[in-house]
Amino acid sequence: MKTEEFLEQIKSYIPADQLGSFLSQSEALPMPNRKLESWKYFPTKFLNFEKQEQSTTLDLAKELNRLKAPGMDVLVTRNGQVQTDLSTDKVKLKELSASDFQLESMETKLDVLSVYSEGQKLELVMQDSKALQIIHFIDSDKSFFNFKLNVDEAVELEIYENFVAVDKVQAHFVSEIELKKEAKLKYYSQSELSSSAQVYTHSSIGLSEAALYKSVVSDTDPGKFRRKTKVNLNGERAHADMKAFYLLNEAAIVNHKIDVNHNVPNATSEQLYKGILDGESKAIFDGMVYVAKQAMGTDSQQLNKSMLFADSAEVITRPQLEIYADDVACAHGATLGGFNRDEVFYFQSRAIPEEVALRMLAVGYAEEIFQEVENKEIHKDFLDQFLDRFSQYKVDIHEL
């Protein structure tokens, strides 16, 4: 899309009094397009801001009942607006303005659009809540939602973020999370997107000394999801542990764009992203670990593994390291394959038919990620959703 066309289209999503600020703030920023390294592999043709008719409406009460994780407070949004009647009141919501977000680190006009849009901009003040489920329902043409969260010193928090979107919608989310000294955040996320739904998240997580960020993400749907995650390790002994699984069929696309920045010495990070692809689906793992000159003692692991069930499916994997420090231990890699014949034979030699063996192997493949979910109810959600979707897949030993 041309810049002029984009600017014309997005006007209707920005309040009149914010338009000037948006234009000046985004003036120097590029449009998302294939010339940009970070958008090179995601088809930007989907990023169209023309108004579209939307006829499917979600039954929120019913959906909430289905998705609600026991024992967690809940914050419900619908098309970028918090639904207070469906949310618990433990979490205080503080209104923010666009300038409260890290505008200087935003990379494209699209990142800036969300915070200047009509979507809410909130700080989530957790008060005494230690476990929060954020459920985003998307059933309107275009929507935006932005939040910030500070996790105070030595506080342990669990966030479970769900995205549910119907066809022909496009939603953008910006989130900024700061973990203070020794704070711990366990972040889980799962999506259910209809085939033509698009969701774009732009998450930024900052970690102070000895802080821990652990994330497990599961996308098992046929929609289009671009998850951009930037992790800044700003304190020594901070640790980011990021795991994700994708199960993709038909024309689904999942794009993990990850930047892990080791800005100080002795911080550690780990990424393990795995998935299974069938049909015409596409997975893009675009991960960068940046180690600054002063970040001695960094230990970072990065691995992307995918299994292809069809020749028509596509994986683009870019595990990248950019290291300026001398004394570091960094590893990165990627694998692509199908089922292993010897593994299948091992099952068969124990009386288990090939079809059952392949399904057990696939579950085991996913479970390597899901087992990282410490909350049993959420783990069950992840596994159940995977099993439900995977039961519709045809499995055989697909030799590449």
Partner 1 sequence: MLEIKDLHASIDGKEILKGINLSVKPGEVHAIMGPNGSGKSTLSKILAGHPSYEVDSGSVSYEVNFKNEDLLELEAHERAQKGIFLAFQYPIELPGVSNFEFLKTSFNEICKSQGVDELDDEAFDKFVREKMKIVEMRDEFLHRPVNQGFSGGEKKRNEILQMAVLNPHLSILDETDSGLDIDALRVISEGVNKLKKSSNAIILITHYQRLLDYIKPDYVHVLSGGQIIRTGDSSLAKELEDKGYDWIVS
Residues near partner 1 (CB under 8 A): 341-343, 345-354, 356, 360-361, 363-368, 371
Q: Cβ 389 to partner 1, closest distance in Å? A: 17
Q: Cβ 308 to partner 1, closest distance in Å? A: 18
Q: Cβ 363 to partner 1, closest distance in Å? A: 7
6-15 b/e with 16+ CB inside 10 Å = b? Answer: bbebbeebbe
Contact at 8 Å (CB) between 271 and 239? no
Show Cβ contacts of residue 117 under 8 Å, excluding neighbours closer than 6 positions: 13, 14, 80, 144, 172
Strands (E), the chain: 73-78, 81-82, 92-95, 120-125, 131-138, 142-151, 156-165, 170-179, 184-193, 198-207, 212-219, 224-233, 239-248, 253-262, 268-277, 282-291, 299-308, 314-323, 329-337
Q: Cβ 343 to partner 1, closest distance in Å? A: 6
Rounded to whole angstroms, how far apart are CA atoms 328 and 174? 32
Nearer to partner 1 by C-beta: 56 or 348? Answer: 348
Beta strand pairing status for 170-179 and 314-323? Answer: unpaired
Nearer to partner 1 by C-beta: 285 or 370? Answer: 370
Rounded to whole angstroms, how far apart are CA atoms 367 and 296? 34
Q: Cβ 271 to partner 1, closest distance in Å? A: 17
Q: Cβ 50 to partner 1, closest distance in Å? A: 44
Nearer to partner 1 by C-beta: 46 or 345? Answer: 345
Nearer to partner 1 by C-beta: 79 or 218? Answer: 218
Nearer to partner 1 by C-beta: 124 or 361? Answer: 361
Nearer to partner 1 by C-beta: 46 or 346? Answer: 346
Q: Which amino acid is at 101?
A: F
Task: Quote the tokens at residue 263.
Answer: 């800005």
Nearer to partner 1 by C-beta: 154 or 356? Answer: 356
Q: Which amino acid is at 86?
A: L
Contact at 8 Å (CB) between 230 and 204? yes
Contact at 8 Å (CB) between 222 and 193? yes
Nearer to partner 1 by C-beta: 286 or 381? Answer: 381
Q: Cβ 299 to partner 1, closest distance in Å? A: 21
Backbone angles phi, psi at 315, to 5 degrees: -125, 130
Q: Cβ 347 to partner 1, closest distance in Å? A: 8
Q: What share of the chain is helix, strand, coil (3-state, %, to 5)?
A: 25, 40, 35
Rg for the chain, CA atoms, rounded: 21
